[in-house]
Amino acid sequence: MTMVKEILGQSVVAEAFCFEVSRRCYTHQNNKKHKISMFPSFSCSSILLPIMKRRTTVDDLNSSSNNKSLHDGGGVTLTISASVTIKNSKEFMAMMLHYFDSFSHNTNGDRGIVMQLVSTQIDPTTMEGKLSKRAVLDWTRELLFNGGGDSERSTHKVDFEIDSNFGFPGAITITNKYNKEIFLETISIEGGFVEFSCSSWVQPEKVNPDKRIFFTNKACLPCDTAEGVKELRKEELRQKRGDGNGMRKVMSDRVYDYDVYNDLGNPDKGIQHVRPILGTEHYPNPRRCRTGRPPVITDEKYESCVNAFMETYVPRDEVFEGVRKEALDVERVKGITRNLIPFIRTHITKCGVFKELSEIKNIYKRKHQVDAMNHTNEENGTLSIDVNKLFQDSFEEYFKFSTPYIISGNGCCIRDEELGRQALAGVNPLSIKRLQTFPPVSDLDPSMYGPQESALKEEHIISHLDGMSVQQAIEEKKLFILDYHDAYMPFLKGINAQEDRKAYATRTILYLTRMGTLKPIAIELSLPEGEHQQQQSKQVLTPPLDATSYWLWQLAKAHVCSNDAGVHQLVHHWLRTHACMEPFIIAAHRQMSVTHPIFKLLKPHMKCTLQINALAREALINGGGIIESDFSSGRYSTEIVSAAYKDWWRFDMEALPADLIRRGLAEPDRTQPHGIKLTIEDYPYANDGLLIWFALERMVRTYVNYYYHNGLMVRSDNELQGWYNEAINVGHGDHAHATWWPTLATPRDLISVLTTLIWIASVQHSAVNFGQYPLGGYVPMRPPLVKKLLPKEGDPEYKEFLEDPEGFLCSSLPDMFQTTKFLAVLNILSQHPEDEEYIGQRRDLSDWIGDPKIIEAFYDFSIELKRIEKEIEKRNKDHNLRNRCGAGIPPYELLIASSGPGVTCRGVPNSIINEEENPRKGQDNVTDGLPEPIPGEILHLALEVDPPYGHEHVQDHATFGEERLKVTVFDEGNHEEEEPYGNEKQSRERIGGLDEELIVRRRAEELRRGLHAVPEGVYFLHVEHHQCTAGYGDQRMKDADHEERRRRSHRFEGGAAAIAVYQVVVDLDFDMAGSAKP
């Protein structure tokens, strides 16, 4: 008969097995094994049954449950075990310091990691959460005497003493009494019944006396927070908000706060080093993370810059290291060495200026010409190797860069068709707009910047419109524009006053051909009135008719591409993805508990963004930084950013559909699959992006609707509303009163906001970042700066231009040192680390182990991204799509979710920069995490409850290259753990069809239906993945030489709990097949 006892404040079934994620057996006083789990209707993901410290029966426990505190002496003391996983330092010196730290303490017990469990129940005597006794872990002693310090992470056992009426653990407090910080990864109570995923640095008590607080993995809205941990939830947020005072301690504090961009210049070095403070009335800007560094000497409004003695502060857990840090360090070294020879040539021999375009191609690697290094001895026919030449060529190749995708076969300037194609499928597909008014009109103040009307006339473009008038072409949606006039015009006087910097404010008119491609048909180059009197303030160039106009056209396109490169880097990349995301991230940490379901949803999309933004303020956008050094905008770069934020940026326009409609590239159309119709059918960024956008929106909708059933729940969530209001009113305070901010009053509002934020941090950032080197790493096609204006007849330069137009063009481009430095930076920015976590992958699924709908939503999203990846690959092979397929045209892969490490021009990481490592990496039998599903659209699935007749059941179907996923369920009583294939019996009817061909989605649905059909009872689930590598269909699959077989096993309960088993199958087995190729 089933015994149900009230232990730890929850109903535990003591002799009936319901469901659990991993097999657990606990020995009671009578040494009888009890399988403990929970009913699916319980709110907690698992139930804890402690191992008894003393001889106590279950009836004793029940009778002693008298609400007395552990310290009152009336309760029964129980001992429960916990496994604590700590990440060990990889550096030898750090490890030695750990060893020294172990001996440097006195022996009075004042060391170790002090832990205390906090119950979800209130102690009536203190009116606070019930507490366990303090448990102490001395992990450094274990490292010394047990040899645990050699591995990447170490796991240690800790025993907690609690009262029998303690209730369910809801939180744990940690105090680090060592002299060094520790990285706490996980705490697992009784083998996984209660999990704390910490993944955080815990500082020594002497550095920060506040106890660290960690909550169980269960996602929880504020209104559902248990009484015992409500105050701790508030306290944890108080710690992260800080008091807004003082200088933050680098590599120890975890305070999130706001500040303006007052650290980009250094007035102490002189007026030329002063930069505007961004985030003021005159220079609006999003806020950054506050560091509290002291002010400069000459002006207290400016914060002192980072230097060799003062590092950049970001909250401790935002600092990326490990694989990402090592990869960046390697690339920095490569960049330095690659710049060594160009630096010597430029600054010593004075020959750093390129003379012809072929010289620029020489800085890129090429395939070694074997014939050039080897030659055959004609006398004896033997092969001779010129070792000296081989060494010389290898040495030179080391200092060269990989060849970018965009270098054409002839190595010349950007072709007209390529300029139009890159506006749709290049590194900046966000600037192109449909031309709706001709001539274009400026929005700038004419009293300051001259006439608003453009110099473009109908006669400039009429001959390129296939017989249409300009008005007809506009109505037919055939005309488009790259308009950088208003972005650059206010700053041109300052830009052109700089040494070796010359720029125009450009407008480029493009025509949509019958082939679906864009071609430029007119370029307008504008200068401020009164500047360069020898030149017209506005001039228009059209496609060339002779040699002279050809080279002038190339120079004009160079200025267009330079404008485009600047706006891409400053506005679309830095402002829209990096800077505008930072306030939402800061507010999330300050206002939402880590247990809040919305924080958990956003967490992987916020990872390490604050760190990369801090580094950008230190080296990229700062005064004298890389952007000022390498782009035409120079010292006016941040002013361009501020102007774009003030006059153009709107959060409600950051959603992909809204952005496309705003630019005239799409219009609402309910007859279309996504409700909008693209103006240009072959627009790779938009085509692929819409697939991901709506897949993401579906996932977010499922997630939000699971937690918020109506608008009242959204409006009454104080943490959620606090996050959104603070992000707007403080983080984006310069736009606090804008009327375009979306409201946050209904689940639909929340879905829109969250989808937009995740889109920005993952997909949009990937579209403008990871193609920077492959699609923008050839300077003649995409120069970051131009040094000369177009020559005019009668100027001394005009004669030079006529005599050597190619040389004149090369002298207008960055020199060798500027080019190699610029390429080194692009190469670093375009890198993926080996441990990148891509969209659709989550390593925190244990947070929702009791919420199968959420897990299913994440899994469906992952499956959908796989389908989208296949669709993108299919599109890239379609020769009718000429903007992504054709001779010399690279495929558009930037929005393919997955990628390998390095510069791949593909891959969509979860966050703007992602360094999160799997906290369970290296451990066995890990099931929390969503591995990638089996690749390929058509696979074979065998679903059966009957165990097979040995391996012959599937053997006859094996063919070369075939994959099969076989799921077998059999009676638990007929299974031996040590022999997965032993003692099998046929006892159930077949559920699924053997070898039925299913696409990925149908396969998943079939598996889910099959598991639901399993009758009530306790079963053993066995999953086996086969990939036959033999060349003969009748080859026995048991032949290990010709078959790859991966197996996992799991217990589960049939009937209602089967939905959770579905996720277990996903976790355990789809990853096993994930690396195989169908």
pLDDT digits (tens, 9 = 90+) for 756-798: 999 999 999 999 999 999 999 999 999 999 999 999 988 888 9
Torsion of the alpha carbons at 478, 484, 487 and 493, rounded to the nearest 10? -150
Contact residues for 232 (Cβ-Cβ < 8 A; gap 6+): 118, 129, 171, 173, 213, 215
**Tokens linked to 95:** 């490890």
Tokens 């072409």 locate to 473
Torsion of the alpha carbons at 1009, 1012, 1015 and 1021, rounded to the nearest 10? 90
Write down the pLDDT at residue 5. Answer: 29
Tokens 């995409």 locate to 782
Write down the pLDDT at residue 308. Answer: 61
Distance CA 494, CA 173 (A): 57
All residue ranges of the chain with pLDDT < 70 are: 1-75, 89-110, 139-150, 308-309, 321-352, 366-399, 408-411, 531-536, 913-1078
Report whether 190 contacts 49 (CB < 8 A).
yes
What are the chain's domains?
A: 4-218 (2.60.60.20), 939-1074 (no CATH)
Report whether 830 contacts 769 (CB < 8 A).
yes
**Tokens linked to 1038:** 């048991």
Q: Is the peptide bond between 439 and the residue preceding it cis, with omega within 30 degrees of 0?
A: yes
User: Long-range contact list for 60-68, CB < 8 A, 24+ apart?
Assistant: 61/5, 61/7, 61/164, 62/5, 62/6, 62/7, 64/164, 65/6, 65/7, 65/164, 65/165, 66/165, 67/124, 67/165, 68/163, 68/165
Write down the pLDDT at residue 570. Answer: 97
**Between the CA of residue 308 and those of 219, 263, 311, 1074, what are the distances in Å?**
42, 15, 7, 46
Report whether 492 contacts 484 (CB < 8 A).
no
Considering only CA atoms, which of 45, 175, 149 is closest in space to residue 97?
149
| Secondary structure of 440-484 in HEC code, one letter for each residue | CECCCCHHHHCCCECCCCHHHHHHHCCCCCHHHHHHCCCEEEEEC
Report whether 1021 contacts 988 (CB < 8 A).
no
Enter the pTM of the model: 0.78
- In the 8-state DSSP scheme, what is residue 803? H
- In the 8-state DSSP scheme, what is residue 409? T
**Between the CA of residue 854 and those of 136, 408, 448, 867, what are the distances in Å?**
36, 47, 56, 20
In the chain, the amino acid numbered 229 is V
Contact residues for 292 (Cβ-Cβ < 8 A; gap 6+): 245, 246, 247, 248, 313
**Tokens linked to 994:** 């053997």
Helices (H), 851-920: 852-875
Q: pLDDT tens, 826-842? A: 988 999 988 889 999 98
Considering only CA atoms, which of 306, 318, 299 is closest in space to residue 254?
318
**Tokens linked to 485:** 């006039």
Considering only CA atoms, which of 957, 990, 985 is closest in space to residue 973?
985
Considering only CA atoms, which of 595, 639, 370 is closest in space to residue 487?
639
Considering only CA atoms, which of 1036, 1028, 1025 is closest in space to residue 956?
1036
Strands 288-289 and 258-259: antiparallel
Contact residues for 124 (Cβ-Cβ < 8 A; gap 6+): 67
Collapsing DSSP to helix, strand or coil, 526 comes out as strand
Question: Residue 685 CA to chain centroid, in angstroms?
Answer: 18
Contact residues for 980 (Cβ-Cβ < 8 A; gap 6+): 1022, 1047, 1049
Distance CA 57, CA 672 (A): 67
Question: Residue 378 CA to chain centroid, in angstroms?
Answer: 58
Collapsing DSSP to helix, strand or coil, 7 comes out as strand
Question: Residue 613 CA to chain centroid, in angstroms?
Answer: 14
Report whether 183 contacts 78 (CB < 8 A).
no
Question: Residue 747 CA to chain centroid, in angstroms?
Answer: 25
Report whether 498 contacts 634 (CB < 8 A).
yes
592, burial (CB in 10 Å: exposed 0-12, middle 13-18, buried 19+): buried
Report whether 173 contacts 236 (CB < 8 A).
no
Count other C-beta atoms under 10 Å from residue 624's C-beta. Answer: 17
Distance CA 794, CA 796 (A): 7
Distance CA 115, CA 129 (A): 15
Q: Is 500 left (phi over 0), alpha (psi -120 to 50) or beta?
A: left
Task: Identify the helix (H) or strand (E) that includes residue 507.
Answer: strand 505-512
Write down the pLDDT at residue 979. Answer: 34
Helices (H), 284-405: 322-347, 357-361, 370-373, 387-398
